[in-house]
Amino acid sequence: MPRTVILGVIGSDAHVVGITILEQALSAAGFEVENLGVQTSQAEFVEAAKAHDAEAVLVSSLYGHARQDCEGFHERLEAAGLDVWTYVGGNLAVGQDDFETTRETFREMGFDRVFDAETDPEEAIAALRQDLQLTTTEAERVRVDG
């Protein structure tokens, strides 16, 4: 069974390169990826997670307005009856904030994992494998079977 993850750039943000790389890496690692692209609303993330019975939602934000764009996101997921892993990553704050402070802010908002802009896609893949309790063997089988 392929494990489905939702990926997208939230809010009015149009930076597309990061999620394109993430999509390729996640697909190569055997995940079924629904890439919603840039300028995705909270409602679109929630609808896609429901429609595809996703196990994780990966939110990207580069332009510095992630906190505002993600406000109330977990309440929406909960209202839709969704219990999914949530990751957020990118340039999450404006300027050069201390990343630990940023991480704490997003953890308090409900995100399970928070990644900075230096994140290698392999780190996100390793985290997903751990959180979804996916063994390497299962991931490889998914990749082989397509």
Which residues in this chain contact ligand B12 in the complex, by CB under 6 A?
12-18, 21-22, 58, 60, 62-64, 87-91, 94-95, 115, 117, 119, 121, 124
Tell the smallest beta-carbon distance from residue 142 to ligand B12 (Å).
19
User: Rounded to whole angstroms, what are the CA distances from 122 to 66, 74, 78?
Assistant: 22, 25, 28
Q: Which residues are annotated as a binding site for adenosylcob(III)alamin?
A: 12-16, 60-62, 91-95
Task: Examine the residue annotation and report whether 15 is marked as an active-site residue of this protein.
Answer: yes
Distance CA 84, CA 59 (A): 12
Q: Which is nearer to ligand B12, 14 or 141 (CB)?
A: 14
Tell the smallest beta-carbon distance from residue 145 to ligand B12 (Å).
25
In terms of residues, how long is the chain?
Answer: 146
Distance CA 4, CA 116 (A): 23
